Amino acid sequence: MIDFPTDRTTWFRDARFGMFIHWGLYSILGRGEWVMNRERIPLEEYKELVDEFDAGDFDPREWARIARDTGMRYLVLTAKHHEGFCLWDARHTDFTATRSAAGRDLLAEYVVALRDADLKVGVYYSLGDWSQPDWRKAVTGDPDAAVRFVEWTHAMVDDLVTNYGRIDVLWYDLPQGLTADQWRSVELNASVRSRQPHILINNRAYTTEDLATPEQSVKAAKPGRLWEACVTMNSVGWGYNAYDPDWKSPREIALLLARCASGQGNLLLNVGPEPSGRIPERARTRLAEIGDWFSLHQEALLNTDQNPLSWYLFGPTTCRGNTLYCFLRNYYGTSFVVGGLTNRVKSAELLDPRTSLDVAQRGPQTIVNGLPKEAPGFLPVVKLELDGKPDHDISRDIGFADVFPDLP
């Protein structure tokens, strides 16, 4: 088994799909991870939640199994969110899972479970921290507090990347309030990379680093740059949201994944476990459906390239070599048209259920016929084998990238 790709970014480019996990004391209140801040809960009162946080159903092997069954290759867990509570046995604060009712180093268990399942290990670390008086002073303009807080932050991050073996992704958040210079981000990341040379770091400590991280939207980074859209499964909150009735359908999630793939990016799909650590039922049922769809359509999603030349009314596309995959977001019935393709189509096939299709080519119109009248499944995919790499007559294109900044 080759575990160390020669290029440290290869695994990420090929992964396509990961699970984001927001889990902390806020999960107990069930109103999302911003609850302490938005409801102005006093810190001392909030901290009492540690006595309730018992992680009774926390089973990272199950998280790993669910992620794998869904088609995901990596996870990113909130080791510390903005509330400041640490899921690991942090050395520079007492506000930790080891000193909660759980009494365990939950991050350590997560890391081992993921490695055993051959999944990549991502760790989220919030730079901003509502539990630290120095952070509050720092962001309201006290320069001495800022210096102290940043010193503490460097020590915390060092702790995190030193004591758990290989970490594949470091995912910062909430840099707001201080500048990159104040965070000493360049120095911080150089130090992280000296501990973990292969690590991928996101762009949220106000430096470019390895990953662009569009949030709740699918925006491709410029070619050659790794990117990952992070999106919630329910409407807005990332932490467990017991009261949100608005969940995305499996179709909406599959479409997000297809749109990410069409721009050669990844989808980091969020799950907010219940306070006990259990993945909620509504997330499980959706992940199971996505997993079924993924397993039947993965050839259209994995190791694919961006189809650089055009966009289509039916939905997104991906390609690999001489193969073009069409995701039929809009299902027009028995046929659809790929406009402007200059290749000859050698064969066409619906991926699920596997059905070969007829193709008629008339000048710049490639007409695919023979599909079922009703859409077979929530996001059907048609595979076209071409006589060369996808090529288009672009004479009627008008620089769509400027017109459609989000991927179609």
By CB under 6 A, name the binding residues for ligand GLC: 22, 33, 173, 215, 230, 238
- The interaxial angle of helices 60-70 and 106-116, nearest 10 deg, is 40
User: Judged by CB, which is closer to ligand GLC: 80, or 329?
Assistant: 80
- List all residues 6 or more positions away from 272 whose beta carbon is below 8 Å from its beta carbon: 21, 22, 23, 27, 32, 33, 232, 234, 237, 238, 239, 240, 241, 280, 283
On whether the CB atoms of residues 84 and 93 are closer than 8 A, the answer is: yes
Residues for the chain: how many in total?
408
Closest to 325 (Cα-Cα) out of 335, 334, 312, 333: 312
Q: Which residues pair with 382 in a beta bridge?
A: 326, 350
Q: How many CB atoms lie within 10 A of CB 55?
A: 21
The 10 Å CB-count burial string (b at 16+, else e) for 388-398 is: ebbebeeeeee
Rg (CA), the chain: 23
Smallest distance, Å, CB 233 to ligand GLC? 13
User: Judged by CB, which is closer to ligand GLC: 270, or 304?
Assistant: 270
User: Judged by CB, which is closer to ligand GLC: 203, or 366?
Assistant: 203
User: Judged by CB, which is closer to ligand GLC: 238, or 312?
Assistant: 238
Smallest distance, Å, CB 32 to ligand GLC? 8
Smallest distance, Å, CB 17 to ligand GLC? 16
User: Judged by CB, which is closer to ligand GLC: 22, or 120?
Assistant: 22
Smallest distance, Å, CB 124 to ligand GLC? 7
Smallest distance, Å, CB 377 to ligand GLC? 30
User: Judged by CB, which is closer to ligand GLC: 209, or 309?
Assistant: 209
